[in-house]
Amino acid sequence: MQEKYQGRYSSVPETQEHIKKVYENISKVMVELMARAKQHDQTKMKHGEVEYFDEYTPMLASCTYGSDEYKQFLKNLEPALIHHYAMNRHHPEHFKNGIKGMNLIDILEMFCDWYAATKRHNDGDIMRSIKINQERFNYSDDLKAIFENTFNDIFVENPNG
């Protein structure tokens, strides 16, 4: 669709249509993210998971993420985690090929989950979690940098802004 402006081609109508399409696409992503926000971890409050999380959440809070003690708690939580991972696609364990099976919405929910989880640990640190999780889930340096950039750009308070 070419439109002329004073006898010349004008890109404005096509750019306006492009902007509209991008708006529609971002809106679809937002709708999905809002649905994920409402549904996040609901299985943790139901029989089969809640009993385990009632017992281990306080213990997890007092240990360091990724430590041997943390790994032992995860092992003890395994019956609940098997169900939890199967029901919640924001965990790499949900997919047979791990993080490579995830989509961008899964990744965003996972990242938000990681950051929230750091707030539950006495010594939680999202940057340390990103580094530990790179080894745990075998993701690229590029994805690690995206996580770090996202944290710094979205969650770190801007003292000048």
Question: Tokens standing for 66?
Answer: 């990724």
CA contacts within 13 A on the Cβ side of 61 = 9
Domain ranges of the chain: 1-39, 41-155
Residue 66: its pLDDT value, please?
A: 93
Q: Please list the ranges in the chain whose pLDDT falls under 70.
A: 1-5, 158-161
CA contacts within 13 A on the Cβ side of 78 = 4
Residue 33: its pLDDT value, please?
A: 98
Cβ-proximal residues to 56 (8 Å cutoff; 6+ apart), any chain: 73, 76, 77
Among 24, 40, 11, 15, smallest CA distance to 105 is for 40
pLDDT tens by residue, 84-112? 999 999 999 999 999 999 999 999 999 99
Residue 14: its pLDDT value, please?
A: 97
Question: Tokens standing for 100?
Answer: 């490579």
Residue 7: its pLDDT value, please?
A: 79
Please answer whether residues 53 and 44 qualify as being in contact, where contact means their C-beta atoms are separated by less than 8 angstroms. Answer: yes
Could you give the residue ranges of the DSSP H alpha helices within 40-125? Answer: 50-61, 68-76, 78-87, 104-118
Residue 118: its pLDDT value, please?
A: 95
Question: Tokens standing for 21?
Answer: 């399409």
Residue 157: its pLDDT value, please?
A: 75
